[in-house]
């Protein structure tokens, strides 16, 4: 259930942060299971493919900027899509923690239409400022994104950052600025203007202000 404080921040800023929402063992299980899938069917078996689909429906997007010293198959992967189709990630997506939060915000008629397991390997491109709603212009609005840090996320290693108020397209609509000189494949992202107001959503042990 969403608390009164969380709902107030959601309505004001377009997001809220819930610490320790799940036991760390859940995130570790997600990571172990999904990396095992990549090792069973690695990018090296799909040379020159922009993406490929595993037998269970999980889509693998190879990394466009492979980090120096890459050795394991997962080092060559940027993201896995549809991770909610398998294992612990499916259990989380269908479980009470996620369902209670989303249904409190949107009502009981909810569905998981996409998940992303983002590896964020050292030196990878990462993501510029953007609003997910730019990419998912469905006839049913709004959408809610849940971000779960399954390993330690810090300002130093690149935790998620959110711009208050810019994260509220459910109320304010999209706020698009010029694309600028960023990595390929990202359209409709937010420019750097105003990023000094960003809030880091990292794990609290290392988060600095």
206, part of any domain: no
Domain-located, residue 81? yes
Q: Does residue 128 form part of some domain?
A: yes
Start-to-end CA distance of the chain, whole Å, equals 28
Q: Confirm whether 152 is domain-assigned.
A: yes
Q: Round to whole Å and give the CA distance between 89 and 37.
A: 13
Residue 197: per-residue pLDDT: 59
Q: For residues 162 and 9, is the Cβ–Cβ distance under 8 A?
A: no
pLDDT tens for the chain, 209 residues: list them.
Answer: 899 999 999 988 888 999 989 999 999 999 999 999 999 999 999 999 999 999 999 999 999 888 889 999 999 999 999 999 999 999 999 999 999 999 999 999 999 999 999 998 888 877 777 777 777 777 777 788 999 999 888 888 878 888 887 545 555 566 655 555 455 544 444 444 444 556 666 554 433 32
Average pLDDT, the chain: 82
CA–CA gap between residue 132 and residue 116 (Å, rounded): 12
* Residue range(s) defining the domain that contains residue 158: 4-200
Cα distances (Å, whole numbers) of residue 186 to 17, 178, 182: 25, 12, 8
Q: How many domains does the chain have?
A: 1
Confirm whether 168 is domain-assigned: yes
Q: Is residue 87 part of a domain?
A: yes
Residues comprising the chain, all counted = 209
Q: State phi, psi for 161 to the nearest 5 degrees.
A: -125, 145
Asked if residue 205 belongs to a domain, the reply is no
CATH number at residue 63: 2.60.120
Question: Taken in order 35, 39, 40, 43, is the CA torsion positive or negative?
Answer: positive
208 inside domain: no
Backbone angles phi, psi at 53, to 5 degrees: -110, 130
C-alpha distances in angstroms, 144 versus 102, 134, 204?
Answer: 7, 13, 23
98 class by beta-carbon count within 10 Å (0-12 exposed, 13-18 middle, 19+ buried): buried
């Amino acid at each position: 259930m969403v608390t009164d404080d969380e709902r107030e921040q959601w309505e004001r800023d377009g997001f809220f942060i819930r610490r320790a929402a799940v036991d760390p063992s859940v995130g570790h299980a997600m990571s172990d299971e999904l990396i095992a899938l990549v090792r069973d069917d690695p990018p090296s078996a799909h040379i020159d493919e922009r993406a490929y689909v595993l037998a269970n429906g999980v889509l693998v997007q190879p990394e466009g900027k492979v980090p120096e010293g890459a050795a394991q198959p997962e080092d060559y992967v940027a993201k896995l899509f549809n991770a909610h189709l398998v294992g612990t990630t499916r259990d989380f997506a269908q479980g009470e923690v996620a369902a209670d939060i989303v249904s409190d915000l949107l009502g009981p008629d909810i569905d998981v239409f996409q998940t992303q397991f983002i590896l964020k390997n050292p030196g990878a491109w990462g993501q510029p400022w953007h609003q997910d709603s730019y990419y998912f212009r469905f006839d049913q609005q709004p959408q809610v994104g849940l971000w779960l840090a399954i390993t330690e996320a810090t300002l130093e290693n690149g935790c998620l950052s959110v711009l208050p108020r810019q994260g509220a397209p459910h109320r304010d609509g999209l706020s698009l600025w010029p694309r600028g000189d960023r990595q390929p494949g990202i359209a409709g992202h937010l420019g750097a203007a105003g990023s000094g107001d960003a809030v880091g959503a990292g794990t609290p042990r290392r988060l600095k202000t």
